[in-house]
Structure 1
Amino acid sequence: MMGFSFAVSFGSEIVLTRTTHQTRLINSTTHHKNNNTLAFNFSNHKDIHTPIFVSKQESIQFDDRKSPNQVKEEINQCYELINRLGRGIVYLGSSRMDSTHSHYVQAQHLAKEIASLLECTTWSGAGPGLMDAVTQGALLAGKPVGGFKIGREAGEWTSSNFHPYLPAENYLTCRFFSARKHGLVDAVVRNNPLDKTAVVALPGGIGTLDEMFEMLALIQLERIGSKHPVPFLLMNYDSFYSKLLDFLDVCEDWGTVSKGEVASLWKVCNSNSEALAYLADFYRISSGDTSQKNETKLHSTHDLIS
């Protein structure tokens, strides 16, 4: 067994010594007057002590930690951006899929159709891959686009703080993931029943899963800060998320989540048409309303040509 000698300092340092011999409790205390240290010896052997010095001044310096204030400032910047552009659809997804990937094409079409259907702002990570796809799609629909970028992205825009074509006032490059997540969550809050927002999770990797499950947990625990329900769509293109869904079924079998709990929190969609139909039903948008919008767009286009 190990033997320990504990030294309690009355000065500016804490001295902790460790021994390696078998110990036996001895009711003896030794006062070392030279270094103002009170030592409790629990070993009856001659021990070899290895002192470990921890300076109190160096161990706790909370005043030197500036990041909390910086995170708070960045969160406020996210909120200001949302207030200017409006809440709407938040897309989560891979930054690695280029424009030749079938999921890129599908995501672009989806973002264009949802922006037209709900007439709201599109929010994304303002990066490459599927984030670029939804940005392009919303711009094609003529609707506002905002983004919360991070300084380092996987893919072609690595370590870039700038977006190649979005106006600088439409996105924010975040230093802190926590601030960025606050922005993504706040962008889908519905405090008015007329607000139309949603979370759309496209195929993605670790970052996408992190954001997806954090937002799902906030919805599950009713901590997302929204007075009204926020629809959450999981886009299962080409069965991308099928094995994840199987795993969640296993979680139900083990009892780590309740039966039907996860299914009640989101809508799994295998196609864009299924997603659009779900959102139209959720927000009670009839096909007649959609036709009216398309007809108005045609008239507007005709007037411009004339």
Structure 2
Amino acid sequence: MGFALLGSLGSFVSVRDSHHWNVRFQSFTLKERFVVGFNLAKNFRAYKKFGRVSLCKSEFVDFEERKSPNEVRKEIEQCYELIQRLGRGVVYLGSSRMGPGHPHYSQTLELAREAIFTAWQIANLLDCSTWTGAGPGLMDAAIKGAQEAGKAVGGFKIGKEAGEWTTSKFHPYLPSETYLTCRFFSARKHGLVDAVVRSSSSDKTAVVALPGGVGTLDEMFEILALIQLERIGSELPVPFIVMNYDSFYAKLLDFLDDCEDWGTVSKGEVSSLWKICNTNSDALAYLAEFYDLPFLDEQKHGTKARSEKRT
């Protein structure tokens, strides 16, 4: 029997035996630990699904019985349903850490502007939906860029992104029917992958990896491995673009070159799976060539004018 613990002070749960639970709380502001012990009756299943334990007049801990396999499956199905409604398209991966306290805050602001222009251009070029993790930072920049282009936007959100101290199930401005807040990373990853799978030659999708940290790298290499193993794009290839703004990924690319020297990947294997682009124009030109679409100089000039107007 398992339970989910919700509480403003809570951080740890342990089970002493089948009917006795010990809940330990560690305060973020105090050094004291708070312990609440209680017994569960043998006929607990006959009680209501939710139980509540009072810590003080205003503090409660809620418990909910979980059956994770069924819940994960249900959440994956919800991801697929959302994609079917909004349509497959371009998935953006990127950093959520863009706060004023970041040591490279001014630089990341520029990267956010670049992401907006990229999303605006690609959404118009491919005429497709835009998908992100529905988080802050560069993900938010991609959302705004796609909205400016007047294209559909969808997202697979998680409650708390890296670097955030608070949890929220809601996006600040996206309509609730356009995104799903996932409790399980496996479901979220299924959604991000399925959103770029091409089911027909008329589908125009892509993966665009913006600068990011551990979470972004995790998503990048999972998708890269799926392409490598032909689990994605075996019949209809999917372009994978890495936006190397300001040589952000230079050391990562050097490491992958070292992997070739060590023999852990074949020569040219990784470079054949994705396209490294230093500018938005490089990315657009690559996508236009990939899908045999016109990419005119007027589009480049229009983008430059938009950039100058914003700055």
TM beyond 0.5: yes
Q: Which residue does the alignment assign to 1:125?
A: 133
Q: Does 1:105 align with 2:106?
A: no
Corresponding position of 2:211: 203
Q: Which runs of 5+ in 1 are unaligned?
A: 1-63, 295-306
Identity across matched positions, percent: 73
Asked whether the 8 Å contact 2:285–2:295 carries over to 1, the reply is: no
Letter matched to residue 232 of structure 2: I
Report which stretch shifted further, 92-101 or 182-191: 92-101
Separation of aligned partners in 1, 2:194 and 2:209 = 16
2:260 partner letter: E
Supply the AA of the counterpart residue of 1:139: Q
Within 5 A, what are the aligned runs for 1:184-223?
184-223=192-231
* Consecutive unaligned residues in structure 2, runs of 5 or more: 1-64, 100-104, 303-311
Query: How is 1:121-270 mapped onto 2 (pairs within 5 angstroms)?
Result: 121-155=129-163, 158-224=166-232, 227-270=235-278
Residue of structure 1 equivalent to 2:122: 114
Once residues 226 and 71 of structure 1 are traced to their aligned partners in structure 2, the CA distance between those partners, rounded to angstroms, is 27
Q: Quote the residue 2:8 is aligned against.
A: none
CA distance in 2 between counterparts of 1:158 and 1:194 reads: 41
Shift of 1:224: 2.4
- Measured at CA, do residues 219 and 153 of structure 1 come closer, stay the same or move farther in structure 2, by a change above 3 Å? same
Report the Cα offset of residue 69 of structure 1.
1.1
User: How many matched pairs?
Assistant: 229
1:87 paired with 2:97, answer no
TM-superposed CA distance for 1:162, in Å, is 0.4
Deviation at 1:158, TM superposition (A): 3.5
Q: Aligned partners of 1:276 and 1:225: how far apart in 2?
A: 20
Matched, 1:69 2:84: no
Deviation at 1:223, TM superposition (A): 1.3
Q: 1:121 to 1:246 in 2, by over 3 A?
A: same
C-alpha distance in 2 between matches for 1:235 and 1:158 = 29
| Separation in structure 2 between the aligned mates of residue 96 and residue 196 of structure 1, nearest angstrom | 29
Q: What secondary structure is seen at the aligned counterpart in 1 of 2:272?
A: helix
Distance 1:67 1:274 in 2: 44
Question: Which protein is bigger by CA-based radius of gyration?
Answer: 1
Paired residue secondary structure (2:84): helix
For the 8 Å contact 1:86–1:121, the answer to whether it is kept is: yes
Q: Does the CA contact (< 8 Å) of 1:81 and 1:170 recur in 2?
A: yes
Normalising by structure 1, we get a TM-score of: 0.72
In 2, Cα distance between equivalents of 1:122 and 1:141 = 10
